[in-house]
Structure 1
Amino acid sequence: MYQSKWRVLSNHIILILGAIFMIAPVWVAFASSTHTREYLFQHGLQWLPGGHFFETYSAILFDPAATKGRVTALQMLFNSMVLGLGFAIGKVIISMMAAYAIVYFRFRLAVPLFWIIFSTLLLPLEVRIIPSYEVVSSLGMLNTYTGLILPLIASATGTFFFRQFYRSVPDELLEAARLDGAGPWRFFVDILVPLSITMIAAIFIIMFVVGWNQYLWPLLMTTDDKLYTIVIGIKQVYQSLYEGGQIPQFPKAFALTILATIPPVLVVVIFQRMFIKGLVETEK
């Protein structure tokens, strides 16, 4: 009994220390963003918030000059949100339909096609970046949301997870649907999709975070500042810190970094239970 309590206490201590270790840099960045650049230049990073929160964050959100471009942080957040949501929703839909076809449509090449799809994991975006750029450019989709999202929505990872889930669904459900006169589309929409909610949430969170953090692809696909994502904006701000011979705008750089972390954190927190349930459940 004593050993059990000590194990629980030690586990909680480790988790608390780990949480503090992860949160501390974010808190320092937030606290430092609420001070003036002169104060940070003289005293360094701060643990306690200052009195310039609204001044700094209003400037970074609504003043294009604060990001050294023609676009505000608010617009960059919108662009990142479009990319993240389009990336995640597109991958979920394509993966579900591909896995559904592989599992429930009995044809000879189902297994070879799945392994061909799965083998594309060996070809990440960085490997095929030049031909992908050529295709997008030839289709006239540069500097468009479609060009940012459409070439990336195929997902071997999502297809694999949904395939494994569909294979665990009892065959009796399919037989019952056939007896009730449900066709393939009706079975997919009315039975498989509701059963896949937790898996959808898990894949959605992963893909949203991946899409939100994309840097290389948006950098190549966009030459217009108005389509820059928040990740590109952070790079621009940090590159311009020491330009002009003035005191660096560390508070605005920190503020932009904090704004970039908020949407992914909110998505993970909101869908946390469904995310864990979708990944750890093996019997459906």
Structure 2
Amino acid sequence: MVENRPFLAVLTHLVLLAGVVIVAFPVYIALVAATHGPTALTSGAMPLLPGGELFANVMQVLTENRRGVAPFWLMAWNSLWMAVIITLGKIAISIISAFAIVYFRFPGRVLAFWLIFITLMLPVEVRIIPTFKVVADLGLLNSYAGLTIPLIASATATFLFRQFFMTIPDELMEAARVDGAGPLKFFRDILLPLSRTNIAALCVILFIYGWMQYLWPLLVTIDPNYYTLMMGVKRMAAVSDADPQWNIIMAAVLLAMLPPILIVVFMQRLFVKGLVETEK
């Protein structure tokens, strides 16, 4: 039985409110900066109320070509391509790997899983030099393949799918076998529908992971035609012969935030359900 303590309820709501303010305040500052002209942000006093230049700043981001930076729409396409391919590739490889580990009996099955699991201790930053060497030797620099293929494998998704598959009763597999369903039919008609919410949750997480990539694209691309939005925003701020146009930069930041926000909004129900649901 949960005790009704008004003081604790007020305290928890205050902590939640403080957390929301801490997280949302930088986003609000970016929004305010994107609504003002360049002089308002270089005067020494940051305005805290929105202005009326948001549309003009957004149109300037979308239409103006800057030296050393690709057009905004091209960088957005590169980021979208990278995010979608990484998401689809990670989920496809991970769910098939987990299916093989759980439902097939072959020598080294447990060892294969633990070798995959151990890679969680080696983030991209640790193995980035040998990965870059392999990509360079294969001639994949300045290419969409070089941007996406090295980031496709995912030990985290494999582990999550494996844990979910292990909760499915063996009787379900036996019933499918009695009905004449082979492994691929069992995977397609039973496991995939049951994994729908898990796939949706991973889609949100992995899309944002791919969309926000900065270090790896920075290493494998020197051609502006393959720049991503994260690289473009950084290069817009790193100017040496003039002051950064923070109003334009913040407008670009807001535009770069829209796809992840839309993904979370439209997939929120499945996302939450995939994270908290324990019974299928």
Asked if TM exceeds 0.5, the reply is: yes
Deviations 1:170-201 (A, max 9, x none): 11111111122111111111110010011111
2:116 equivalent to 1:117? yes
| Aligned-pair CA distance for 1:9 | 4.0
How far apart in 2 are the matches of 1:130 and 1:40? 39
Q: Which residue of 1 aligns with 2:260?
A: 264
1:209 aligns with 2:205: no
TM-score by length of 1: 0.92
**Root mean square deviation, CA, Å:** 1.9
CA distance in 2, matches of 1:8, 1:88: 39
CA displacement at 1:251 relative to structure 2: 0.4
Tell me, in whole angstroms, the C-alpha distance in 2 between the residues paired with 1:173 and 1:184.
Answer: 12
Q: Is 1:90 the counterpart of 2:86 in the alignment?
A: no
TM-aligned CA distance change 1:232 to 1:179, over 3 Å: same
In the alignment, the residues of structure 2 paired with residue 264 and residue 20 of structure 1 have an alpha-carbon distance, to the nearest angstrom, of 20
Q: Deviations over 1:32-89 (max 9, x none)?
A: 1111111221253222221211211111122112xx4341222211111111111111
Residue 274 of structure 2 is aligned to residue 275 of structure 1: no
Letter of the aligned partner of 2:261 in structure 1?
V
Structure whose residues are more often helix by fraction: 1
> Which residue in 2 is equivalent to 1:182?
181
Q: Residue in 2 aligned with 1:64? A: 65
Residue 72 of structure 2 is matched in structure 1 by 73
Where do residues 1-40 of structure 1 align in structure 2 (5 Å cutoff)?
Answer: 3-40=4-41
42-51 or 23-32, which moves further after superposition? Answer: 42-51
2:245 partner letter = Q
Tell me if the contact between 1:198 and 1:274 (Cα under 8 Å) persists in the aligned partners: yes
Paired residue type of 1:129: I
Q: Please identify, of 274-283 and 168-177, the stretch whose mean Cα deviation from structure 2 is larger.
A: 274-283
Q: Deviations over 1:94-132 (max 9, x none)?
A: 000000000001123111110011111122212222221
Shift of 1:148: 0.9
TM-score (norm 2): 0.93
Q: C-alpha distance in 1, partners of 2:8/2:104?
A: 50
Matches within 5 A, 1:144-155: 144-155=143-154
CA contact 2:238–2:244 (8 Å) conserved in 1: no
Instruction: Give matches, 1:153-232, under 5 Å.
Output: 153-232=152-231
Unaligned runs of 5+ in 1: none
Between 214-223 and 97-106, report the one with greater CA deviation.
Answer: 214-223
**Cα gap change, 1:51/1:43 in structure 2, threshold over 3 Å: closer, same or farther?**
farther
- Structure 2 unmatched ranges of 5 or more: none
Distance 1:75 1:225 in 2: 9
CA contact (8 A) 1:79 1:228 kept: yes
Letter in 2 for 1:56: N
Contact residue 56 and residue 255 of structure 1 kept, 8 A: yes
Q: Does structure 2 conserve the Cα–Cα contact (< 8 Å) formed by 1:37 and 1:248? A: no
Deviation at 1:265? Answer: 2.0
SS of corresponding position for 1:162? helix
1:22 Cα deviation (Å)? 1.5
C-alpha separation between the residues in 1 aligned to 2:86 and 2:78?
12
Number of aligned pairs? 279
Give the one of 252, 274, 277 matched to 2:248: 252
The whole-number CA distance in structure 2 between the counterparts of 1:2 and 1:132 is: 55
Q: Matched residues, percent identical?
A: 47
SS in 1 for 2:42: helix
Deviates most, 251-260 or 35-44: 35-44
Task: Report which stretch shifted further, 47-56 or 14-23.
Answer: 14-23
Q: Is residue 37–residue 247 contact of structure 1 (8 Å, CA) maintained in 2?
A: no
Q: Is 1:88–1:204's contact at 8 Å kept on the other side of the alignment?
A: yes
Q: Aligned equivalents of 2:214 and 2:243: distance in 1?
A: 27
SS of the residue corresponding to residue 50 of structure 1 reads: coil
**Cα gap change, 1:237 to 1:165, in 2 (>3 Å):** same
